[in-house]
Every structure is written in C-alpha cells, then in structure tokens.
Amino acid sequence: MSKNPRIPDIAQLAGVSTATVDRVLNQRAGVRGPTVQRVLQAAASLGYLPQAELHATQQQQPLRLMVLIPEGSNRFLQMLGDVIGYAQDHWAPFNVRCQAAYIESFNPEALAQALLHHGKRCDGIAFMALEHPVVREAVAQLAEQGVPTVTLISDLSNSRRVAYVGLDNREAGRNAAYLIGRFMGPLAFSRQARVAMIAGSLRYRAHEEREAGFLHLFEEQFPQVQVVGVREGMDDAEKNYQQARALLEQHSDLAGIYNIGGGAEGIGRALKEAGAERRIVFIGHGLTPDTRALLIDGTMDAVITQNPQGAVMNCVRIFANLRDGREALSGVETPRSQVIFRENLP
C-alpha cells in the first residue's frame, strides 16, 4: 500500500472512476449512497481520509429513498404519502432522506417508467407493485444497476426485489370471509344468501390474494353461501358506488360485501340509499377518516388495517440494512393486521 495514497488508488480499490471519487470527496451530488459509502471506506482504509473525517462525511451523505404511490382517491394511500412528508424526523437516526412520488394508478407501463426514471436519482425505491412483465423487467434492470427495490402493500412474483413489506394478503382475505360468515349468523349455513367482493384491481397481487383467501375460507366453512364473482372498482368511490348499486339491484338476497381495496365510502353510500346498511355485512380495508365514519354510524362492521407509518419505517430499515451490509430483514418486524370495530376504534 502506498504511503501517500492518491485518488486513482481509491478509485481502484472502490471499483469506480476517478471522477466518481472526486465527486464523493468533494461532496458533490450525482453519486448513489452505496457507492459513496464504498468510496469513503476505501479512502479510509488507504489512510487518505482520517476516521473522524470519514464519520463526518458519512453523516453528510443521507441515503436517498423514493416511495412510488398510486394517484387517486384511495385514502389509505394518501395517508401513506402524508406520513412520508411529515415524519422525516423518524428517519433521521438512519441517515435517510425519504420522498414520495405519485404515479398513474393501475398502469404497469407508467409504473415501469417511473421506476427507471427515479432509479437514476436515488439509492432505493419502494413501490406498490402491479403484476406485469414490464414492471418485473424494470425491477431487474434496477437490480443490475445496483438500485434495490422493495415492494410495499402488494408484492411482485418472480422478481428481483429485495423484500416485501405488507400483510399476508391471503390471510387478510380469509379473515374478512370469517368475519362476514360469523356476522351473517344462521344465514351463513343456508342457501338463501350471497356475498360479493369489490376489488380495486386484480392487477394488484394483494387484491388477487385477498380474493383467493376469501374464496377458500367460504368453501371450507360456509359452502352453502354463493360468492358472487369479483368486480373491480379501481379504488374509486364513485365506481364502487355504481358497482354496489348494481349488486343490490341484481341480488335481493345479498348478505355481505367485502371491499378488497379503497373507495369504501362509495359502497357505504349505496348501502345507505338502499336502506341496507343494517342488513348487509360490510367489511373493508384501511382505517381512514372515511372508514372510521362508516364504522361509527354502523354502515361498516369491521376494517382490516395496518399501520402506514410502520410500513414506511420497515422500508427505511431494509434500505439502511443493505447500505450497512446487514441482512435486508434484520430488525424488521413482520407487519400484523389489525381488525377494527366501532367499539375498539383507536
């Protein structure tokens, strides 16, 4: 090792160009966080950068994270974006800067483009995945470029994402089915009732898995009840209102509705207009101001939810683990769903 290390020595040890080393040592933008750390460690190991200066420089290089959130009226996703905006102090101990970007909902091409676009400017991306080859390919390209991705709320099968943060969605669907069946009482054991599902979009693996869990439990425990084929409302209150109205008009024996995604207020409005809010069991997802109001007035019977701040914190922990050379899921708690009724509202 040279007694007087130079920038080319650091570049060779870190496996980067001399221009990259120069940008890092002069704290200029345009270098990803993991590369910055690699260069700084190389400089320190060669004796170019004293440990005290290394620590100070590292503290000035926060990990740049992006969370991609679908646009629209889904209040839970809006709350997720709000958490990212106002909870920056929570990420400070991890030396992380976290931002949210909103993208077109239910459009895999737009999601893939957003992944590749933001991947040029950040050190890691969390996103709500859509099951589609173009999304899978974008994740693979980012992995090749050294940009890790984490799927949030909805996973992406057979992909190179580093981790998934969210509920066990099959379990969530089974829980919803069990609740509806129990709330139905004797009707759940007769052939005189139907239940229905309204999803955001089955392009979300989360919604597809919730549907599968719901169907399996009804087949196992309440086989006499007919489950009406799932309808898509795109997490939109007005579309869900129209879907719920159509269900009420077509099925006079409707006894339960499971709202797999967002837009619960639209279903609630349809039930109230039909005078069916006390007769039909209504279970949904995500504790928001809208679902809270529906629980309080008795239109909804239960809400299956998760903590949005906890979900974002888990993403931050995963990216910090990767930066620091730990296992991705070290110290990351498995998210647990909560079932909220009117009587246990937080």
Q: What is the pLDDT of residues 317-335, one digit of tens each?
A: 999 999 888 999 998 988 8
**Same domain membership, residue 113 and residue 47:** no
Q: What is the rounded CA–CA span in Å between residue 170 and residue 208?
A: 9
**Same domain membership, residue 223 and residue 149:** no
pTM comes to 0.83
**Same domain membership, residue 153 and residue 217:** no
Residue 101's beta-bridge partner residues?
68
Tally of domains in the chain? 3
| CATH code: domain of residue 103 | 3.40.50.2300
**What residues contact residue 274 under an 8 Å CB cut-off, 6+ apart?**
245, 248
Q: What is the structure's pLDDT at 35? A: 81
Residue 93's pLDDT band, with cuts at 50, 70 and 90, is: confident
Contact 95, 63 (CB under 8 A): yes
Stretch among 52-56, 288-292, 294-298, 300-304 having the lowest mean pLDDT: 52-56
Please report whether residue 1 resides in a domain. no
| CATH code: domain of residue 18 | 1.10.260
How much is the average pLDDT of 122-128?
Answer: 97
Q: What is the structure's pLDDT at 1? A: 43
Bigger pLDDT: 94 or 222?
Answer: 222
Query: Which residue type is seen at 268?
Result: G
Q: What is the structure's pLDDT at 161? A: 98
Kindly tell me if the per-residue pLDDT of 84 is higher than 60: yes
**Same domain membership, residue 211 and residue 125:** no
Q: What is the rounded CA–CA span in Å between residue 151 and residue 328?
A: 13
**Same domain membership, residue 299 and residue 201:** yes
Q: What is the structure's pLDDT at 2? A: 46
**What residues contact residue 51 under an 8 Å CB cut-off, 6+ apart?**
44
Bigger pLDDT: 215 or 92?
Answer: 215
End residue of a domain, out of 15, 31, 59? 59
Kindly tell me if the per-residue pLDDT of 113 is higher than 60: yes
Predicted confidence (pLDDT) per residue in 265-284, tens digit:
999 999 999 999 999 999 99
Give the ranges where the chain is alpha helix by DSSP (H). 7-14, 18-25, 33-45, 51-59, 75-86, 88-91, 108-119, 133-144, 169-184, 205-221, 237-250, 264-273, 289-296, 308-323
Bigger pLDDT: 198 or 50?
Answer: 198
Predicted confidence (pLDDT) per residue in 133-163, tens digit:
999 999 999 999 999 999 999 999 999 999 9
Read off the DSSP letter of residue 191. Answer: S
**Same domain membership, residue 87 and residue 42:** no
**Same domain membership, residue 298 and residue 180:** yes
Domain that holds residue 277: 169-305
Please report whether residue 341 resides in a domain. no
Residues 44-67 as b/e (b if ≥16 CB within 10 A, e otherwise) read: bebebbeeeebeebbeebbbbbbb
Q: What are phi and psi of 148, to 5 degrees?
A: -75, 150
Q: What is the structure's pLDDT at 4? A: 76
Stretch among 24-28, 85-89, 131-135, 154-158 having the lowest mean pLDDT: 24-28
Predicted confidence (pLDDT) per residue in 29-46, tens digit:
667 777 877 888 888 888
CA torsion 136→138→144→149, rounded to 10°?
A: -80
Predicted confidence (pLDDT) per residue in 236-265, tens digit:
999 999 999 999 999 999 999 999 999 999
Residue 285's pLDDT band, with cuts at 50, 70 and 90, is: very high
Kindly tell me if the per-residue pLDDT of 80 is higher than 80: yes
Please report whether residue 231 resides in a domain. yes
Q: What is the structure's pLDDT at 60? A: 56
**Cα dihedral sign for 75, 73, 172, 198?**
positive
Please report whether residue 340 resides in a domain. no
Report DSSP letters for 202-228, one per residue. TTSHHHHHHHHHHHHHHHHH-TTSEEE
**Same domain membership, residue 298 and residue 285:** yes
Q: How far is CA 319 from the centre of its chain?
A: 15
Please report whether residue 123 resides in a domain. yes
Please report whether residue 344 resides in a domain. no
Strand order in the sheet with 96-103: 96-103, 63-70, 124-127, 149-152, 163-165
